[in-house]
């Protein structure tokens, strides 16, 4: 087959433009450098002491975290993951550190210490219930909810932390199309229901999946990375016999 010089030039131009677009996308979509975040010299030593157990590098790789992403971290607690996420997404990314008002007493001044003097400059603190998230529609690449979905069954001092179905609708609302929810928690026995969030501080993976699907998300993957077959699942997570060794699910849900 013979091609004219003009057609060859058009094809060459097309391939060049395609290569430029691919190179640009590759630069934007680079995997987040979680290893550098973990070894950052300003990172608290007590955080690093938890890494072998919590495996943040592997967890965030499973989630597909990339530089420049906008992240909403539900129930950030004392900020262990906040510190990692902030540095991993870089200056072109952002993190909303969310924590419900009913659980602020459990973190003391931990959040203030993490964010004092603008040390994590791309982090915004948001104190809201789970069903009233402070983020715009279609604005977030990843929502993380690590060791937290069970709180939907917990009501400290009788105060709800958010309607369960409403919380997942909010997650779906703020995610960009193609965005994902990374959910991980201590596994509850089959049939335990939401009440296990109060009694054991655990939740069934199937229950989280059900609520995510009902909110319009789809299951994108699961991981056994943090599962422990020696956990009887019937002990509360603060029991000395199992604390720090619970079996935890990791699930990824996608917004179409």
Q: Is 11 left (phi over 0), alpha (psi -120 to 50) or beta?
A: alpha
- Indicate the range of 97-111, 178-192, 198-212 predicted with least confidence: 97-111
Task: Give the percent of the chain with pLDDT over 90.
Answer: 83
Q: How far apart are CA 13 and CA 9, in angstroms?
A: 6
Q: How confident is the model at residue 109 (pLDDT cuts 50, 70, 90)?
A: confident
Question: Which pair of structure tokens corresponds to residue 234?
Answer: 């019937």
Supply the mean pLDDT for the chain: 90
Q: DSSP letters along 44-97, please?
A: -HHHHTTHHHH-HHHHHHHHT-BTT-EEEEET-TTSHHHHHHHHHH-TT-EEEE
Looking at per-residue confidence, does 22 or 61 come out higher?
A: 61
CB 201 within 8 A of CB 237: yes
Of residues 5 and 57, more confidently modeled: 57
* Token pair recorded at residue 65: 């975290």
Q: Is the pLDDT of residue 148 over 50?
A: yes
Q: Give the model's pLDDT for residue 110.
A: 85
The CA-CA-CA angle for residues 96, 101, 103, to 5°, reads 100
Return the SS3 of 156: helix
Mean pLDDT of 86-95: 97
Model pLDDT, residue 150: 98
Supply the pLDDT for residue 108. 85
Q: Average pLDDT, stretch 154-170?
A: 95
- The domain locations on the chain are 1-30, 31-254
Residue with tokens 């604390």: 243
111 vs 183: CA distance, rounded Å? 21
Structure confidence by residue, pLDDT tens digits, 3-38: 444 333 333 333 333 333 333 333 345 889 999 999
CATH no. for 31-254: 3.40.50.150
Give the pLDDT confidence score for residue 216 in this predicted structure: 98
What percentage of the chain exceeds 70 in pLDDT? 89
Sheet with 248-254, side-by-side order of all strands: 123-127, 94-99, 70-74, 140-146, 175-186, 248-254, 218-223
> pLDDT value at position 29?
54
């Amino acid at each position: 087959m013979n091609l004219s010089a003009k057609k060859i030039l058009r094809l060459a131009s097309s391939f060049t433009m395609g290569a430029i677009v691919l190179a640009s996308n590759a630069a934007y979509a680079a995997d987040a450098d979680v290893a550098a975040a973990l070894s950052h010299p300003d990172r608290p030593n007590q955080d690093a002491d938890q890494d072998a157990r919590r495996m943040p590098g592997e967890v965030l790789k499973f989630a597909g975290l990339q530089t420049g992403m906008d992240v909403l971290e539900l129930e950030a607690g004392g900020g262990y993951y906040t510190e990692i996420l902030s540095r991993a997404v870089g200056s072109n990314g952002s993190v909303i550190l969310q924590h419900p008002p009913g659980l602020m007493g459990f973190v003391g001044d931990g959040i203030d210490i993490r964010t004092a003097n603008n040390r994590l400059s791309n982090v915004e603190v948001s104190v809201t219930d789970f069903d009233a998230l402070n983020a715009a529609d279609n604005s977030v690449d990843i929502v993380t909810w690590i060791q937290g979905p069970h709180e939907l069954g917990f009501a400290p001092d009788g105060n709800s932390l958010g309607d369960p179905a409403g919380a997942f609708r909010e997650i779906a609302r703020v995610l960009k199309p193609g965005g994902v929810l990374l959910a991980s928690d201590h596994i509850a026995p089959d049939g335990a229901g939401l009440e296990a969030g109060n009694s054991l501080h655990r939740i069934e993976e199937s229950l989280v999946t059900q609520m995510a699907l009902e909110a319009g998300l789809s299951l994108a993957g699961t991981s056994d990375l943090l599962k422990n077959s020696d956990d009887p699942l019937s002990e509360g997570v603060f029991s000395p016999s199992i604390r720090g060794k619970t079996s935890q699910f990791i699930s990824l849900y996608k917004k179409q």
